[in-house]
Structure 1
């Protein structure tokens, strides 16, 4: 569990650093559309870092459930936000890695569905 929290803290920390980098440095380099895309990646990363803190300290989840949700969100950040960072900060084009961003979104969806199913099961098994 502590491994998940450490990774979560790194995701939150790097989201703050990347957000500041985008706001103060990239606004001079990227177009408004590119900057908006970069900000979306930062925002999704931070949202999921916050949710991961909840997931990993919530006592209503088993260790296995925490790991499944954490892995889905970690993969979501890696593929969704990571691919956007690569596209905006390098010469890699979205055409060359078109499938990576939606794959990250799919991991986010699986993580959220996993959490929802756990809560539904808890609600109906009262």
Structure 2
């Protein structure tokens, strides 16, 4: 079964490494140290949340029907786009007005982690785990 969140997490990590290398080697001599720090913050948050997406992808294999995990995954991905994306653009374009968008990505991150935490507290329903679905074919 393909996992969209596992893919998005791995691809986001790939892009995070690429953006980090670009910042360290391509932007270091071009933008100010303050803007480079802003850019690096975007890279750091992208990498951590890419790992979060990978975790959600793996957890969905155990609980494929979990709406909390689905919402958590999409919010985490949107958070990467908004939070890290706005910081990348802010740093490269030196456009401070883009900073107004960044907190919306942060809110997406917060809600995503909260939903992930809530999903950990929720008791799995019979027939919702990958193993019980596999098992039910034989019984």
Using the size of structure 2 for normalisation, the TM-score is 0.78
State the partner residue of 1:114: 115
- Contact 1:34 / 1:88 at 8 angstroms: preserved in 2? yes
Distance 2:76 2:21 in 1: 22
Of the structure 1 ranges 81-90 and 54-63, higher mean CA displacement relative to structure 2 is found in: 54-63
SS of the aligned residue for 1:28 comes to coil
Describe the superposition over 1:13-56 as per-residue Cα deviations: whole angstroms up to 9, x where unpaired.
Answer: 00000000111111101111111110110000000111111111
Shift of 1:60: 4.5
Distance 2:64 2:111 in 1: 17
Describe the superposition over 1:72-120 as per-residue Cα deviations: whole angstroms up to 9, x where unpaired.
Answer: 10110011000011111125x222x343100000000000111111223
Distance 1:50 1:3 in 2: 14
Using the size of structure 1 for normalisation, the TM-score is 0.86
State the partner residue of 1:67: 70
State the partner residue of 2:10: 9
**Which aligned segments of 4 or more residues in structure 1 are displaced greater than 4 angstroms?**
none
- Contact 2:6 / 2:55 at 8 angstroms: preserved in 1? no
- Runs (5+) with no aligned partner, structure 2: 124-139
Considering only CA atoms, is the larger Rg found in Structure 1 or Structure 2?
Answer: 2
Q: How many residues in Structure 1 have an aligned counterpart in Structure 2?
A: 121
